[in-house]
Structure 1
Amino acid sequence: MAGRDLRALFSSNDRGMATTEAFTNRQLQWELIAAALAEHLRHTADRGFDVEDLEAPRNNLIVFHGVGGIGKTTLSRKLENALAGAEHRPAQWGEPTWSGERILPVRIDLARSANTDFEQLVLTIRAALAELGRPLPAFDLALRRYWEQQHPGESLEEYLRRGGLVGRFGKAMPQQMQAALADVAQALLLPGSVGTAVGAVAGSLTRALRDRRQTVRALSGCARLADLLEAEPDLEALSFYPHLLAWELAQLPADKRVTPVVLLDTFEDVGDRTHRDLERLIQRVVWLMPNAFFIVTGRSRLQWAEPALQGQLDYTGPAAWPGLAATAVVPAARTAATGAARSGGRQVLVGDFSPEDCDDYLARRLARDGQPLINAEIRQIITDRSHGLPLYLDLAVMRFLEIRRTGREPVPADFDHDFGALIARTLSDLTPEERHVLRSVALLDAFDLALATRAAGMLHEAPAMRLIERPFVRESAFGLWPYHLHGLIRSTVRNADDQADDRWSPRDWHQAAERALAALGEQWTTGTGRDRMLLVSCLRQGLVLARDFRLELGWLTEAAWSYVSDSVWEPLAPPTRPESASMETAADALVELLSTLARRQHEHREHTADRLAAVTGTGLLPADLHEMAVYYLAKVQRDLGRSGASRRDMQLVADGGGRLAPAARRGLAHLARLAGDFPTAYDTARTLGWEGRHHRVEGDIWWPHGDMNRSATAYEAARLEAEQHGVAGERATSQAQRAFVLAFTNPERADDEIELARHLITGLNLRQTGHTIEIATLVRDAGTQTDLEDRARILREEIHTSGITHAAAALELAMCFHHAVLDNDHAFTTAIARLRDLPQGGDHAYYVDIAHFMAGLSLNGASGARWLDGGQPTRNRWRTLVTARREYLRNAR
């Protein structure tokens, strides 16, 4: 459905441009309404339904709430048209189940700009019912009495004309009211002109009703009419008159029956959480007209089902409004087909447009010769920036036309833009304290009440509690912090040109960032136990704040050490620094350091080395964090086969005596082992202790000697020690190595060890450990699997992508074992050649020796490795592993 978009039409001289007010499909909302209205019609048609029952629960409304600009008013207007008749209903919405029932839609805009007061609301409903073509005497008499008392000398017809109701509904209502008055006067046999005798008619009718006279038996069925006619005709009494209207509708004959559907739009302008006077009157209308159906659209969900409002409103609590209770709230993504509406949920969050809907909206909004005026590239940029908010799309269209008025054609870069108008729409109905909290939490990806309050610098949580009820605050039940701002609202509040009266200065934003960073630090430091999720979540938000606002590191230093200590490497995912941007602060360097350490599990080690070298070259980090960068650079250099550079940096860290000195000494032991200097590596391992992972280093030394059982025992001790200290990454790595060495000796036992390793690595970003597990499966299957070469080829490509040379060496050694078991000389020769060709820089040279030991071949030029117990015992152990596997396979057949 589309109409003329007058704003766009009057924004351009291009008469060939077609401007349509595009309406993007809201089929899910229509299905919810169709189901709820069908249920309402079934309820009112039931024989047990009593329109005068004032105690029964009410389920005669549905609420659509959402952020400003989400399209609630457009939805309300389209619903009014769709309910008016099939010719106005989009074809994709489908035929409703109440076909044949007479529906009368009445839309009332409660926006402040519409200047709708309670009197006008009641008159609008009555004016719409003039379509029935008959008086509604009980209501009409009461309303006429109210009017003459509250508006003496003012013509009701003139008032309706000024308010636009005559234009909408015609002149029939005053005439019907006059006829009702005349009919009652005649029934009571009153003399004179009824036009000036409303009071007398009301008094006589009241006495007649009390006396149960037969002359007024048509009205005597309305049990509360006499009470209402006796009450002072003020605004309070007027709010109860809709009961008379509901009663009159219930008296209509079956062929004249009609169900009013009252659409109350912009409900947020009714009042606030303190001043509920108008809301109380409107709620009475809904309660007293149980045979009417109400569709409420506004920014916030209705609170009528909350018992705490007792005394502020007449009808409160979940028993009164079961469909409005918090447990009955349904998201817009739920459809009527799921039973959401039928189960009672009547609070619906109006969701954002899908990317497809956004593109469709922009394509149809402006066109020339049937083709979209906004090209696909610009539409994509606008869609991405909009986060699905229709108001943003509308503002982007007007910006498109504004740029064209300057004489140039818009380009995609013109729409990498935030609109200040979104701030005005968002802040318009917030209190000053709520606005302050909103700006504060715009600095955070996610938050809870305590974090929001602390970031705002407030001593009480009430403003944050009110804010989280707003539709632009989304809730996730699975996050550490349950709340987050709508993406576009957050971006706009932080980045747009804010012209609000209480806008923040750069210093205000900086102070808020300091408060938010401190609040995150407090949550982490006061957390109980080793809460990894809390640590990573605080780091993710804290790093961005420190970087963007150039803050001191503070607690981030200690948190960084905690992050690396577990060797888990969850992605921290702050927005990445552009390649061309220089690091200028310690926060810049720390973000780059930790992001690089996490990313190294997913990129080539060469790239990691370049980034770490850049960090160490800045000199921006404090001494202990600089040491961290140097140590991990040394590890990457070792992975790349740059043993000299790695040894230099490891020695630097070891000599510094800092936190990573034991790890650096372990690194030196590894370098000695890779070079074949096993005595030095072994002597160093015995001095390392837990901090230097002594058991794992010993296991790394024993397996090249072919002593797999001794190596497996060391790795098991390393895994158990890691469990005691709660270091998940070390535990997984030690178990992967244990699975690898046991795969040489016992394939059946290796199955369980490999399975345990895979379990322990779940959720961890440890690429090298993952390679080790896959190599273990190749060793386990050596001599049996026909697809071993294919699996090895795939793994070889993955290892090449990572740049980890010792993983490549271990893979080729595993393939040498496979071919030695099969006694396949040609394949063994190819495998050993591949092993020799690895760019190891002198490391792993003894792997070629081991390959010869496996096959029982003599060595023409040994590597010069210094074996702990000599070369011959090592040769014998490796050859025994091959012959034992052959024997195992023969027995297995």
Structure 2
Amino acid sequence: MGRDLRALFGTNDLGLSTAEAFTNRERQWELVAAALGEHLQRTADASFDVEDLEAPRGNVLMVHGVGGVGKTTLSRKLELSLASAEHRPAQWGEPTWAGEKVLPIRIDLSRAAGTDFERVVLAIRLALAEAVGRPLPAFDLALRRYWEHNHPGESLEEYVRRSGLRGKFAEMLPQQMQAAVGEVVGALELPGVVGAAVGQVTGAVVRALRERRQTVRALAGCTRLADLLESEPDLDALSYYPHLLAWELARLPAKKRVVPVILFDTFEDIGDRTHRDFERLLQRVVWLIPNALFIISGRARLQWADESLQGQLDFTGPHAWPGLPARDIPPAHTPAIGGRQILVGDFAPEDCDDYLARRLSRDGQPLISADIRAVITARSHGLPLHLDLAISRFLELRRAGRTPTADDFDHSFGALIARTLSDLTADERHVLRSVALLDAFDLTLATRTAGLPHQAAAQRLTERPLVDENPYSLWPFSLHGAIGTAVRTATDHTDDRWTADDWRQAAERALAALGDQWSSTLAPGRILLIGCLRQGLRLARDHRLGLGWLAEAAWAYVGDSIWEPLAPPTPDEPNASSMHTAADALIELLSALARRQHEHRTRTADRLTTVIDTGLLPDDLTEMATYYLAKAQRDLGRSDASRTGMQRVAAGGGRLAPAARRGLTHLARLRGDFPTALDTARTLGWEGRHHRVLGDIWWTQGLMDQATDAYEAARAEAEQHGIAGERATTQAQLAFVTAFTDPARADDELDLAHHLLSGLDLRATTLTTQIAALIRDAGTITDLDARAHLLRTEISVGGLASAEATLELGLAFHHAVRGADAALDAALSRLEELTRNGDYAYYTDIVCFMAGRPTPARPGPPVRWLDGEEATRDRWRTLVTARRGGTR
């Protein structure tokens, strides 16, 4: 850990401690260590030959990731850690190559560093000058010839002294090269004047090599030296000289032997995917020095294993680079040796907090408070660059005389945009801004949102590390969270930044493309519907777009009765003032319908009332809100208000008119007017769920066989129409009625109900299965109080008055079977209190039927049983006596 100079010079506070923080890269170190260990083992094998130019290469690792994720920091830390154990973080562990002299050589390829290919070659040779401490004659002779031919009048010594290569051992390289030339002159016994002309020296060496003279036996083992010395000493030839370095390194004596680990950083700055001239030269270096390990870091994956690059690069394809075609090694996974593409991931939240805490401190305590660190961490999505920008902002606010607060960091940084766009083409930048509007996308969606006629730019963008890929998702691609947020929300100062109209037009294209995907698919399915709705609703809300296809998709969402979480986040207390467009109102409507499975029905009713009062929705969607408001009111026991709403929807003749007529049938059943309910139920048809409504009527009469048949027919119809929610609901009701008559069958029906409920979000239906399980166990329950208490709590949380009355009915059945008169009296008393408003009042009559008691007098109209009270009484009493005599 070193000093953070940028932070140090950002404040006058001398008591402030600034330090560079490094964290969360243990797995990358493990991979580097494993690869280096394998490299050492391979190069030590007797069969390894540096002059074998056809063998596949396994001497390269590619470390890639989005800009600002910490690749350069990792490269620097690897260089230091390989050079000395004292610089290696403690959590990285000990290396396994004790006794080997590892020589890290880090070369910055960034445009800011101004590195060209000559400097790359000289940097490698300069590092070896110190480590080896002796001439490397084959290479040095070739390099000297190249230099004098391409830099006439400029000595290598002077160039090294004035260039960025200058360092403690900078003068060693010219000295060693001069010594190499002197050795050759002496060996060939050349005249001194001739020896001064390197061109003549190399000519003499070539002749000696061709004639196989003993005087140059030290160089004779390098089979390609003569050819390289004879070739035109241009840049292309220079790119082949590393072969001579590899040969020289291989013949060093054991005490001088070194293992170079060459780190090429900022690889994205050497060109692009069209202009690969510099990349071709660097690839030759990697290929021609197989006894060096290369660690390359950049933003994109290394494409050398792609056979389509043949002709642009010298060595391509999976045979040449067997480790490069492998799937990226995830950041959180320590792979087996072999995969060579290492994705550098984001920091985990705890590492972000640790990073922020250690960067700025006073008296050993973090300067950035915990609440600020939490906001920065959440907004960063783990991107280290965001953390650094937030630290700079923290110091900037302090310089301005302000005490930073958490709210000061609840935003994105424009600098992320410039950093992200820097190496993208114009079309790629256009696609990037377009897909920033989307949570996830595929090539078609990205291209249409961008308004481009071809997919090439989108394809190239998906290959960048700023795009995450999940091949198992509906849309496999998504932008890095911090980058997507920054592009959408941060101030953009780039030359090709978008105007507000540009963003709106892109949002319109995206919304249309989503609608086309949903509507044009032959069998769109639930996953596609939910995905299109989630993205489309957010686009329509954020950019104030019309509903278009979203209205029809909303009906499809409601029709399946599954209720997945759907809408984008809404305010904690939605009200009319927070809704300004139809999209706002539709989001609140669908959110209220989905959340009703997890909220008290009072909350649902309030939210739906607010939506209706805005008047923002078209008539058909207002009808939807009215219908579900009436359902919530019925669940709350507000029967009069529910009846008014149902009548309004039924009279409108819209899509929910059959459901509203079903709702009116339920309301008649609630009041005990069974003949009216039965007559209406027979007119409902499938749209009104006629079989289920009939089953609901039959079981209250004690006609369990007829109810069973009705529910089975209802389930079959739901399966035929592919309505998962309705199928689960009817199956739960089937389990409920069989629980009274056949506990063994009820076991099977409950198992199926639980299976059908898997993945669905239906609170009332789930409660039905739990009450059914209690009725199934009637007469044998040993933990009645605990189960009843738990169910009452769940029902109360949901505000489901009907379920509470049904639970008490089930408990009364248990007490009647057991002949527990006191407990039965208590259950009857609770039922009378629950049904005081008249809804489900006939439940008290059914309890009396079960127990063989007379029915109590009650105000209001009498219950209208379908075939009279006595027949109904007999059937319910028979259910109790049958259970008493059962073996369960």
The TM-score with structure 1 as length reference comes to 0.98
Q: How does 1:276-291 map to 2 (within 5 A)?
A: 276-291=276-291
Conserved 8 A contact 2:160-2:170: no
Query: Could you tell me which residue of structure 2 aligns to residue 86 of structure 1?
Result: 85
Conserved 8 A contact 1:805-1:840: no
Q: How does 1:776-791 map to 2 (within 5 A)?
A: 776-791=772-787
Q: Are positions 1:309 and 2:303 aligned together?
A: no
Quote the offset at 1:614 in angstroms.
0.5
Q: Deviations over 1:125-180 (max 9, x none)?
A: 00000021100000000000000000001011111122222315331010000000
Quote the offset at 1:477 in angstroms.
2.4
Conserved 8 A contact 1:181-1:194: no
Take 1:530 and 1:877, find their aligned partners in 2: how far apart are those partners?
Answer: 48
Query: Could you tell me which residue of structure 2 aligns to residue 404 of structure 1?
Result: 398
Q: Deviations over 1:766-792 (max 9, x none)?
A: 100000001100000000020122111
Q: 2:445 aligned to 444, 447, 451, which one?
A: 451
Q: How does 1:64-213 map to 2 (within 5 A)?
A: 64-131=63-130, 132-167=132-167, 169-193=169-193, 196-213=196-213
Quote the offset at 1:746 in angstroms.
0.6
Q: Deviations over 1:473-519 (max 9, x none)?
A: 00112210000011000000000000000000010000000000000
Q: How does 1:741-890 map to 2 (within 5 A)?
A: 741-838=737-834, 841-862=837-858, 864-889=862-887
Conserved 8 A contact 1:104-1:258: yes
Quote the offset at 1:196 in angstroms.
3.2
Take 2:236 and 2:455, find their aligned partners in 1: how far apart are those partners?
Answer: 35
* Range with bigger deviation, 24-33 or 698-707: 24-33
Change in 2 beyond 3 A, CA 1:36/1:202: same
Change in 2 beyond 3 A, CA 1:489/1:195: farther
Take 2:208 and 2:529, find their aligned partners in 1: how far apart are those partners?
Answer: 78
Quote the offset at 1:860 in angstroms.
2.7
Query: Could you tell me which residue of structure 2 aligns to residue 533 of structure 1?
Result: 527
Aligned letter for 1:394?
D
Q: Deviations over 1:154-209 (max 9, x none)?
A: 01111112222231533101000000001011111110246631000111101111
Take 2:814 and 2:624, find their aligned partners in 1: how far apart are those partners?
Answer: 40
Q: Are positions 1:329 and 2:325 aligned together?
A: no
Take 2:874 and 2:731, find their aligned partners in 1: how far apart are those partners?
Answer: 26
Q: Deviations over 1:658-678 (max 9, x none)?
A: 111111000000000001010
- SS of the residue corresponding to residue 167 of structure 2 reads helix
- SS of the residue corresponding to residue 297 of structure 2 reads strand
Aligned letter for 1:419?
F
* Range with bigger deviation, 574-583 or 843-852: 574-583
Conserved 8 A contact 1:651-1:664: yes
Query: Could you tell me which residue of structure 2 aligns to residue 644 of structure 1?
Result: 640
- SS of the residue corresponding to residue 240 of structure 1 reads coil
The TM-score with structure 2 as length reference comes to 0.98
Take 2:96 and 2:578, find their aligned partners in 1: how far apart are those partners?
Answer: 64
Q: 1:716 aligned to 691, 712, 717, which one?
A: 712
Q: How does 1:323-402 map to 2 (within 5 A)?
A: 323-325=323-325, 327-335=326-334, 340-342=335-337, 344-402=338-396
Q: 1:490 aligned to 480, 484, 496, which one?
A: 484
Conserved 8 A contact 1:634-1:645: yes
Quote the offset at 1:341 in angstroms.
4.3
Take 1:762 and 1:3, find their aligned partners in 2: how far apart are those partners?
Answer: 54
Conserved 8 A contact 1:102-1:258: yes
Quote the offset at 1:531 in angstroms.
0.7
Conserved 8 A contact 1:299-1:471: yes
Quote the offset at 1:711 in angstroms.
0.3
- SS of the residue corresponding to residue 706 of structure 1 reads coil
Change in 2 beyond 3 A, CA 1:152/1:637: same
Q: 1:467 aligned to 461, 470, 482, which one?
A: 461
Take 1:40 and 1:438, find their aligned partners in 2: how far apart are those partners?
Answer: 39
Take 1:238 and 1:813, find their aligned partners in 2: how far apart are those partners?
Answer: 92
Q: Are positions 1:23 and 2:22 aligned together?
A: yes
Structure 1 unaligned spans of 5+: none
Aligned letter for 2:165?
L
Conserved 8 A contact 1:474-1:483: yes
Take 2:209 and 2:567, find their aligned partners in 1: how far apart are those partners?
Answer: 76
Query: Could you tell me which residue of structure 2 aligns to residue 549 of structure 1?
Result: 543
Coordinate RMSD, CA, aligned:
1.0
Q: Deviations over 1:250-275 (max 9, x none)?
A: 00012211110001000000110100
Take 1:457 and 1:208, find their aligned partners in 2: how far apart are those partners?
Answer: 67
Query: Could you tell me which residue of structure 2 aligns to residue 246 of structure 1?
Result: 246
Take 2:770 and 2:550, find their aligned partners in 1: how far apart are those partners?
Answer: 36
Conserved 8 A contact 1:144-1:177: yes
Aligned letter for 1:673?
R
Take 2:5 and 2:835, find their aligned partners in 1: how far apart are those partners?
Answer: 70
Conserved 8 A contact 2:662-2:681: yes
Aligned letter for 1:165?
L
Change in 2 beyond 3 A, CA 1:398/1:527: same
Change in 2 beyond 3 A, CA 1:366/1:839: farther
Q: Deviations over 1:88-146 (max 9, x none)?
A: 21122111000111100000000000000000000000000002110000000000000
Take 1:20 and 1:696, find their aligned partners in 2: how far apart are those partners?
Answer: 70
Take 1:578 and 1:20, find their aligned partners in 2: how far apart are those partners?
Answer: 41
Query: Could you tell me which residue of structure 1 aligns to residue 263 of structure 2?
Result: 263
Quote the offset at 1:840 in angstroms.
6.0
Take 1:834 and 1:193, find their aligned partners in 2: how far apart are those partners?
Answer: 119
Take 1:123 and 1:543, find their aligned partners in 2: how far apart are those partners?
Answer: 58
Aligned letter for 1:415?
F
Quote the offset at 1:530 in angstroms.
4.6
Conserved 8 A contact 2:681-2:693: yes
Conserved 8 A contact 1:641-1:840: no
Aligned letter for 2:257?
R
Q: Are positions 1:512 and 2:506 aligned together?
A: yes
Quote the offset at 1:369 in angstroms.
1.1
* Range with bigger deviation, 168-177 or 262-271: 168-177
Quote the offset at 1:289 in angstroms.
0.3
- SS of the residue corresponding to residue 320 of structure 1 reads coil
Take 2:213 and 2:101, find their aligned partners in 1: how far apart are those partners?
Answer: 34
Conserved 8 A contact 1:36-1:341: no
- SS of the residue corresponding to residue 18 of structure 2 reads strand
Conserved 8 A contact 1:182-1:194: no
Aligned letter for 1:276?
R
Take 2:194 and 2:14, find their aligned partners in 1: how far apart are those partners?
Answer: 59
* Range with bigger deviation, 272-281 or 524-533: 524-533
Q: Deviations over 1:660-710 (max 9, x none)?
A: 111100000000000101011000001000000000000000001011110
- SS of the residue corresponding to residue 353 of structure 1 reads coil
Q: 2:619 aligned to 619, 623, 632, which one?
A: 623
Aligned letter for 2:633?
Q
Take 2:168 and 2:546, find their aligned partners in 1: how far apart are those partners?
Answer: 64
The alignment of Structure 1 onto Structure 2 pairs a total of residues equal to 883
- SS of the residue corresponding to residue 305 of structure 1 reads coil
Quote the offset at 1:577 in angstroms.
3.5
Quote the offset at 1:288 in angstroms.
0.3
Structure 2 unaligned spans of 5+: none
Query: Could you tell me which residue of structure 2 aligns to residue 57 of structure 1?
Result: 56
Conserved 8 A contact 2:779-2:814: yes
Take 1:420 and 1:169, find their aligned partners in 2: how far apart are those partners?
Answer: 42
Query: Could you tell me which residue of structure 2 aligns to residue 236 of structure 1?
Result: 236
- SS of the residue corresponding to residue 734 of structure 2 reads helix
